[in-house]
Structures are given as C-alpha cells and as structure tokens.
Amino acid sequence: MAKKEFVVFGLGRFGTSVATTLAESGCEVLAVDADEDKVHEIADFVTYAVKADITDGDALASLGIGNFDGAIVAIGKNLEASVMATILVKELGVPYVLAKAQNEIHAKVLKKVGADMVVFPEKETGIRIANNLIMGNFFDAVELSSTFSMMELDAPDEWVGKSLRELNLRAKNKINVIAIKRAEVLDINPDADMPINRNDILVVIGKNEQLNRLANK
Ligand code: ATP
C-alpha cells in the first residue's frame, strides 16, 4: 500500500507534534513554515521541510500537494494565514483538511471555507486530562466523541464471580464490555458466561457520565 502523504502548515508546538508523529508512523510528511529556524529544526524528522509563506498562493501551488491525502493547518494566531491556507489547499484538491482554531469565531470561519475538521488542541487536551483525573479508577481513556469514551476499568468487587450475562451491563449500566484483560492476556471476544475474576481489567465503551459513575462506585 502506498504511504499516506500529508502536508503540515505551521510548525509551532501543535504542528511539530502532528508532523513528527505522522512521520514516525511511516507517512510521507511535507512540513511548511515561514520561519527558517522552524524549518531547519524539523528537517531531519520529516520527508521534506520547506520555507514558504502560505498566504502566497503561487508558493503554495508550487509545492505540488494536490494529490496529498490530507493537510493540517496548524496556525492559530495568524488568522489570515490559517484561513488562506485552508481555502488554497481545498482549491488544490486536497480531500481532507484539519485546521487548528484559536476560538469559536475562528472555527466557524474555517468550517465555512471548507475545513473538514476543526480542533482546539489546548481545550481538548485540557478536557481529556480533567476527565482522566476525575475517573481515577481508569487506567486510560480514549475519547471516541465528546460524550463517549473507551476505557480500561478495574473489575468492581460486586462484579467478581458473576458473568457478563448475569450482570447485564448493557441494559443496566448502558456500557459495553468489548474485551477482558486477564494476566496480561487480552480476550477480545469474552465469553458471556465466563465469571469475572478479581484482578480482571475490563475494556468498556460507554457514555462519559456512566463510566464516571462506575469509576467512582
Ligand atoms: P502552538 O500553540 O502550536 O505552538 P502558536 O499558536 O504558538 O502555535 P501560531 O501562531 O499558531 O503559533 O503559529 C504556528 C506557526 O505558524 C509558527 O511557527 C509560524 O511561523 C507559522 N506561520 C504563521 N504565519 C505563517 C505564514 N503566513 N506562512 C507560513 N507559516 C506561518
């Protein structure tokens, strides 16, 4: 399978983190910034690093990104650059554009001009960290949407010795147990009649409120 190709505009902390993670994961990454130092700093960690002003349509067109799989517009403070880059990459035919917003108005503008996904990295990270702190009983949480998460949960005492069928968690607790980790072995198709052991770790999906309630039982 051909490697996925991404372009990242803006090499602040967010853009650098996205660009280097994509590259580490085996994607082809073109990193672009107007600041030469930023370009030099990332050059060894991505496929190509280029100094360019992304408000310059000709410079952008010359990068040849029309066939790329996605673009990340990681510029918060320079509204003009962020909006222009989003419009121009959409015009060049990039199918998926993810853009970082500073505030709600910025987000609205980005969506209007064609951004497929708008993110607020600081706000979203803050929410995730706070949720993880509240749900102290959970080892880790993966946010599936703003209301649903997938988490690893220590089997509560009152569940020990009972099977998933008896517990009827889907109906009673509105959660789904998708896997059980026992002695470091992950069973992704747990038997509904198998009793839960004391040290089992359950991988569950559910609404944040339900998961929170279970964690604080
Ligand atoms: P972070 O929070 O991710 O560190 P930031 O909010 O501090 O980012 P931004 O203003 O979002 O900083 O800028 C990110 C990067 O975008 C900077 O490295 C800046 O040089 C680059 N940048 C800003 N305007 C342009 C432009 N017109 N063309 C190319 N790069 C630009």
> pLDDT digits over 126-163, tens only?
887 887 677 655 556 777 877 888 888 888 889 999 99
Q: Mind listing the pLDDT tens digit for each residue in 24-64?
A: 999 999 999 999 999 999 999 999 999 999 988 888 889 98
Q: How far is the CA of 32 from the centre of ligand 1 (A)?
A: 10
- Mutation pick for ligand 1 pocket among 37, 75, 77, 106 (CB with most ligand atoms within 8 Å): 75
How confident is residue 82, by pLDDT bands cut at 50, 70 and 90? very high
Q: How far apart are CA 20 and CA 83, in angstroms?
A: 23
pLDDT at 217: 65
Report, as an integer, the average pLDDT of 187-205: 92
How confident is residue 77, by pLDDT bands cut at 50, 70 and 90? very high
Residue pair 34/92 in contact (Cβ under 8 Å)? The answer is no
Nearest CA to ligand 1 atom 28: 53
Residue pointed to by tokens 């990039």: 94
pLDDT at 179: 93
Q: How far is the CA of 53 from the centre of ligand 1 (A)?
A: 11
pLDDT at 135: 63
Q: How far apart are CA 174 and CA 168, in angstroms?
A: 9
pLDDT at 1: 67
Nearest CA to ligand 1 atom 10: 77
Q: How far is the CA of 73 from the centre of ligand 1 (A)?
A: 9
Give the least confident one: 67-81, 95-109, 197-211: 197-211
Percent share of the chain, pLDDT over 70: 95
pLDDT at 88: 93
Q: Mind listing the pLDDT tens digit for each residue in 11-26?
A: 999 999 999 999 999 9
Residue 130 DSSP symbol: H
How confident is residue 214, by pLDDT bands cut at 50, 70 and 90? confident
Beta carbon of 12 within 6 Å of any ligand 1 atom: yes
Backbone angles phi, psi at 146, to 5 degrees: -70, -20
More confident residue, 5 or 171: 5
- Whether 215 shows a pLDDT value over 80: the answer reads no
pLDDT at 140: 64
pLDDT at 13: 96
Contacts of 85 (CB under 8 A, 6+ apart): 9, 54, 55, 60, 71, 73, 75, 99
- Using the atom order of ligand 1, give the atom closest to the CA of residue 76: 11
pLDDT at 60: 87
Q: How far apart are CA 36 and CA 20, in angstroms?
A: 17
Is the dihedral angle over the CA atoms 10, 11, 12, 13 positive or is it negative?
A: positive
Q: How far is the CA of 4 from the centre of ligand 1 (A)?
A: 24
- Mutation pick for ligand 1 pocket among 13, 18, 33 (CB with most ligand atoms within 8 Å): 33
Q: How far is the CA of 38 from the centre of ligand 1 (A)?
A: 10
Is the dihedral angle over the CA atoms 153, 156, 160, 164 positive or is it negative?
A: negative
Beta carbon of 10 within 6 Å of any ligand 1 atom: yes
Q: How far apart are CA 46 and CA 31, in angstroms?
A: 7
Q: How far is the CA of 76 from the centre of ligand 1 (A)?
A: 6
The mean predicted confidence, pLDDT, of the chain is 90
Q: How far apart are CA 83 and CA 79, in angstroms?
A: 6
pLDDT at 184: 80
